[in-house]
A and B are shown apart, each in its own frame.
Chain A
Amino acid sequence: MNREISLQRRMIVYGIGLLLLAQIQLRLSLDAAIPYPDLLLLLPLLAALWTPGYDGFILGLLAGFIRDYAAGRGYGLGMIVGMIFGLCASALARDGWRQYGIRGGLLVVVATAVNEWTMSLFAWLTPLNNQRASLGAAMKVSFANMPGRLLSNFVGALLLTGCLALAFFEKNAKSSHGGIMSVTEREFDG
């Protein structure tokens, strides 16, 4: 399946998706009884796998900004993390559902873990006052939260994949490579 997705369509899908997912995540954060997926982390990852190029990079920046705005200690940190994840996901993108499943699954695991540890480290490096816990304690808390976050992000990634498949569905799509493909892939690779 070779997805010839126009820029206009991508902008509409990702624009609406970003706004909607941001609102859903903010809403989910109010009912924090169970772990919920970090949709603003997952969107750039999966978008970059789906349509490689600069989509993940830009979405990472935008989603990171919303995270910074909503709950961050300053602006920029969430954007850097989102941007880097978007770029890494773009570099890993390959054709085909099988590759998407394998690489997407790995990306979700690695991105969740790296995000958790990186943000814990940054939070530790930039305390909001002159007292701070030990780095070991911060990392221990990160590890303790990891299983719940991984599970919720996996579920979120599956749901998001379904949404992207529907949003980019083409009735007469030709399957030349037997997987996900974007015209922008070559742009990114030069």
Chain B
Amino acid sequence: MKRRGPRILLIVGVTVALLVTFILTALPGTTRSRIGDFFGRVFDPVTSVFQGGVDAVGSYFSAVSENRSLKTRLRELEEEGANLRLQITRDKDKVEAFEELKDALHLITHFEDTSITSAAILNREFGPGFDLFRVKAGRKDGISVSGNQTCPVVDQNIALIGRIHSTELSSSKVMPILHEAFSVSARVEGTYRSSFRVRGDLVLRQKGLCIADNIAEGTPINIGDKLITSGEGGVYPEGILIGEVVDVRTDAQGKMITCVVKPAVNLDDLRYVFVLMESADES
């Protein structure tokens, strides 16, 4: 006689427990960190070692083929370095003058109160539902997310990649700029007209694009314009490069309603990101 009762009960019990876990951990600022902290202590180092090993093997083979081009590049870089050193010497006086002027006028430069933490990407998104990517920097590196407070993530050219979604002890999940839940206040570079919203779009995401909407009537936006963060909202500092307008969509009356934006960052080639955090001594 088969006894299916206990087995079915077990399966139903596990399913209910997992659903409750999902509901609890999908809410912001919940128990997800404790689960992830414990697992991440073991799993993240293994991932780093594995990826390091793969990179090392790949580098070994590519080093042979790239040796010639590296030599040429090295020569170019040495030349460039010499020119830059010369330029630094020339500009030294200008920098000193700028610092004096800044102190005198209390000028504030972009990102002055921001510290930057670099992080390697551990993995990218897998598909629907698994649409965040993980980077190797977490709470122990000073990254924290709570309520409406989060940290912008940029590339080496200070182009916007996304924002921190959640953090574990040694790693964090990043919501990329193309994600449909991502939005940022933006304006056209070089103008101080009213800001609008740039956000991810489910359909455009497949083409590596996002959308700009909530654009006030009369805002001059043209194809080729560069968009930067406006600084409104307090999450993203002003001046981070978002992308370039590649299409302007108008309604039947010819009024601009949305723009299609190509992010400045190439998400496919990313291996390292930089997390912008408010400096601890800011207070």
Contact = CB atoms under 8 A, between A and B. Distances in A.
Interface of A: 19, 23, 25-27, 29-30, 32-33, 38, 57, 61, 65-80, 83-84, 87, 116, 118-120, 122-123, 126-129, 131-133, 137-138, 140-142, 144-145, 149, 189-190
B131 interface: yes
A30 B271 contact: yes
B105 interface: no
Contacts of A80: 15, 18-19, 22
A70 B44 CA distance: 10
6 contacts: A38-B127, A72-B129, A74-B21, A74-B26, A77-B18, A80-B19
Interface of A is mostly: helix
Interface stretch (B76-84, B197-205, B244-252): B197-205
Interface string B182-226: 010000000000000001011101100000000000000000000
Nearest to A79: B18
Given A66-B43, A132-B181, 5 more contacts: A30-B124, A57-B11, A70-B123, A127-B181, A131-B180
A33 B2 CA distance: 49
Interface in B1-53: 2-4, 11, 14-15, 18-27, 32, 35-36, 39-40, 43, 46-47, 50-51
Q: Counting chain A CB atoms within 10 Å of each CB, which of B18, B20, B205 scores highest?
A: B18
Contacts of B271: 30
A27 B54 contact: yes
Nearest to A72: B130
Contacts of B262: none
B241 interface: no
B122 interface: yes
Given A74-B32, A76-B22, A83-B15, A133 B127 contact: no
Contacts of A70: 122-123, 126, 130, 134
Contacts of A141: 128, 202-203, 205-206
A178 to B, nearest CB: 26
B203 A71 contact: no
A27 B175 CA distance: 19
Q: How large is the interface on B (under 10, 10 to 19, 20 to 34, 35 or more residues)?
A: 35 or more
Contacts of A120: 128-129
Contact of A76 (B18, B132, B201): B18
Nearest to B18: A76
A71 B15 contact: no
Contacts of B227: none
Given A69-B36, A75-B21, A126-B26, A145 B127 contact: yes
A119 B206 contact: no
Contacts of A71: 123-126, 130-134, 173
B143 interface: no
B128 A142 contact: yes
B215 to A, nearest CB: 16
B121 interface: yes
B22 to A, nearest CB: 3
Nearest to A20: B50
Contact of B32 (A32, A33, A57, A75): A75
